[in-house]
C-alpha cells in the first residue's frame, strides 16, 4: 500500500548548528487522520516545513504518495495543502484574491478557481467577507481563510499546523466538523495541535516528537490503552468532612463537595459507584481530571527527557 507520507531518517541542522531533527522516521497511511504532537521547539514545524518545501533538509528522504520530494518535487507539491501556524497571507489583499492567486500558482484557470473558491468560502462561512481586505478579518476568520486557501487545489494530503490556535470553541468545533467531513471524503490529514482533546477525538494515529526525535508512533487506540489509571473528579450531592478510611479506592477530597478518585484500568465504573455507594457517597456528576492523551503525552515526554539527561 502506498503511504500518503513516508519519512526516512530525516535530519535538519540549522546554520546556527541547532539540530532540529535527529533522524526521524514516520509513516502516514492514505486516508488517515494523523496527529503529530510535540512541545514547542520539538521539531514538528521543521518537519512540516521540509515536507512542504519551505525548509531545506540536511539528510534523509521524504516521499508523498510514492513521489520522492527531491526527484518529483512539483508532483509532491501538487498533492499537498498547508495551513501554517502563522498567518502568512498578504493582509492588504481581498479574501477572494488570496484564494484565486493561490489557485493560479497551481495553474488553475480563474473561472474554475472562482467556482471552487465560492464553494470553499461558503463552507467556511467566509463568502460574505470575500471582498474584505484580509487584515479586517477576525482571528478565527483568518484561520478559516488559510484552510480555504490550502484546499483550493484539492490536495490529497492536508497538513494543519495548529489550525485552531486562538480560535474560540464554537468556531473550533465547526472547524473540527469540516475537517472530519474532509477526511471522510478521502483527504489524508496531518494535524499538529496543543489541544490534545482535539487530537484524541479526531485522529486515528499519532506520533509524538520530542527534541527532534520520534518518541512514539502508534495508533491512538493503542496509545490510550497504555493508560493504567484514570483520575475522575466527582461532584458530590452531600458534602463530606473527610475521606472514608477503609475505602478500596485511592481517594482525595479536594473540597467538601469535590472528590478525586483514581480508577485502575482493570476496574469498571460500576465498581467505582458500588464502592462509593457502600460508603454512602452520592455523586451528582463526574468528569476526567485531565484529558487521557494529555496524561500520556506528558508522561512520554517526561520519560524521554529523563532518559536523555541521564
Partner 1 sequence: MKTAQKLTAFKTILTKEVMRFLRIWVQTLVPPAITMTLYFVIFGNLIGSQIGDMDGFKYIEYIIPGLIMMSVITNSYSNVVSTFFTAKMFGHIQEMLISPVPNHIILMGYIGGGMARGLMVGLIVTLVSLFFSSLTIQHPFITIAVVVLTSMLFSIAGLINAIYAKSFDDITIIPTFVLTPLTYLGGVFYSINMLSDFWQNVSLANPVLYMVNGFRYGILGVSDISPVASFSLLAVFIVALYGFAYYLLKKGVGIRS
Residues of the shown chain interacting with partner 1 in the complex, contacts defined by CB under 8 A: 14, 46, 49, 52-56, 73-75, 77-78, 80, 82, 84, 86-91, 97, 100-109, 149, 153
Give the residue with the Cβ less far from partner 1, 154 or 252.
154
- The answer to whether 98 touches 136, Cβ cutoff 8 Å, is no
Smallest gap from Cβ 91 to partner 1, in A, equals 7
Euclidean distance between CA atoms 245 and 248, whole angstroms = 9
Paired residues of 133 in beta bridges:
94
* Cα distances (angstroms) measured from residue 148 to each of 113, 165, 195, 199: 12, 17, 22, 21
Give the residue with the Cβ less far from partner 1, 75 or 231.
75
Euclidean distance between CA atoms 147 and 225, whole angstroms = 33
Give the residue with the Cβ less far from partner 1, 53 or 231.
53
Give the residue with the Cβ less far from partner 1, 6 or 153.
153
Give phi and psi for 138, each to the nearest 5: -75, 170
Say how many residues make up the chain: 310
- What SS3 class is residue 111? helix
Paired residues of 262 in beta bridges:
231, 250
- The answer to whether 130 touches 123, Cβ cutoff 8 Å, is no
Euclidean distance between CA atoms 232 and 242, whole angstroms = 18
Smallest gap from Cβ 152 to partner 1, in A, equals 10
Smallest gap from Cβ 191 to partner 1, in A, equals 17
Smallest gap from Cβ 161 to partner 1, in A, equals 12
Residue with cell 460508603: 279
Smallest gap from Cβ 288 to partner 1, in A, equals 38
Give the residue with the Cβ less far from partner 1, 108 or 175.
108
Smallest gap from Cβ 277 to partner 1, in A, equals 59
Smallest gap from Cβ 290 to partner 1, in A, equals 35
Q: Which residues of 62-97 are buried (b: 16+ CB within 10 A; e: fewer)?
A: bbbbebebeebeeebbbbbbbbbeeeebeeeebbbb
Amino acid at each position: 500500500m502506498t503511504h500518503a507520507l513516508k519519512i526516512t531518517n530525516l535530519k535538519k541542522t540549522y546554520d546556527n548548528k541547532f539540530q532540529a531533527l535527529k533522524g526521524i522516521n514516520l509513516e502516514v497511511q492514505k486516508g488517515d487522520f494523523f496527529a503529530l504532537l510535540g512541545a514547542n521547539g520539538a521539531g514538528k514545524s521543521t518537519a512540516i516545513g521540509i515536507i512542504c518545501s519551505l525548509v531545506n533538509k540536511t539528510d534523509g528522504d521524504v516521499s508523498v504518495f510514492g513521489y520522492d520530494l527531491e526527484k518529483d518535487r512539483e508532483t509532491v507539491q501538487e498533492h499537498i495543502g498547508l495551513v501554517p501556524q502563522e498567518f502568512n497571507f498578504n493582509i492588504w489583499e481581498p479574501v477572494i484574491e488570496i484564494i484565486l492567486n493561490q489557485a493560479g500558482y497551481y495553474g488553475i484557470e480563474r473561472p474554475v478557481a472562482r467556482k471552487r473558491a465560492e464553494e470553499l468560502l461558503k463552507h467556511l462561512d467566509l463568502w460574505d467577507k470575500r471582498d474584505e481586505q484580509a487584515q479586517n478579518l477576525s482571528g478565527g476568520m483568518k484561520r478559516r481563510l488559510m484552510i480555504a486557501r490550502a484546499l483550493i487545489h484539492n490536495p490529497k494530503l492536508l497538513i494543519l499546523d495548529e489550525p485552531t490556535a486562538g480560535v474560540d470553541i464554537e468556531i473550533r468545533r465547526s472547524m473540527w466538523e469540516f475537517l472530519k467531513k474532509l477526511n471522510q471524503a478521502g483527504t489524508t490529514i496531518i494535524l499538529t495541535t496543543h489541544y490534545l482533546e482535539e487530537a484524541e477525538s479526531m485522529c486515528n494515529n499519532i506520533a509524538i516528537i520530542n527534541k527532534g526525535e520520534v518518541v512514539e508512533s502508534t495508533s491512538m487506540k493503542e496509545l490510550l490503552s497504555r493508560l493504567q489509571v484514570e483520575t475522575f473528579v466527582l461532584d458530590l450531592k452531600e458534602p463530606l468532612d473527610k475521606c472514608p478510611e477503609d475505602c478500596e479506592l485511592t481517594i482525595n477530597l479536594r473540597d467538601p463537595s469535590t472528590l478525586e478518585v483514581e480508577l485502575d484500568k482493570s476496574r469498571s465504573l460500576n465498581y467505582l459507584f458500588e464502592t462509593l455507594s457502600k460508603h454512602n457517597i452520592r455523586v451528582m456528576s463526574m468528569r476526567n481530571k485531565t484529558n487521557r492523551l494529555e496524561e500520556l503525552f506528558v508522561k512520554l515526554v517526561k520519560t524521554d527527557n529523563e532518559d536523555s539527561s541521564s
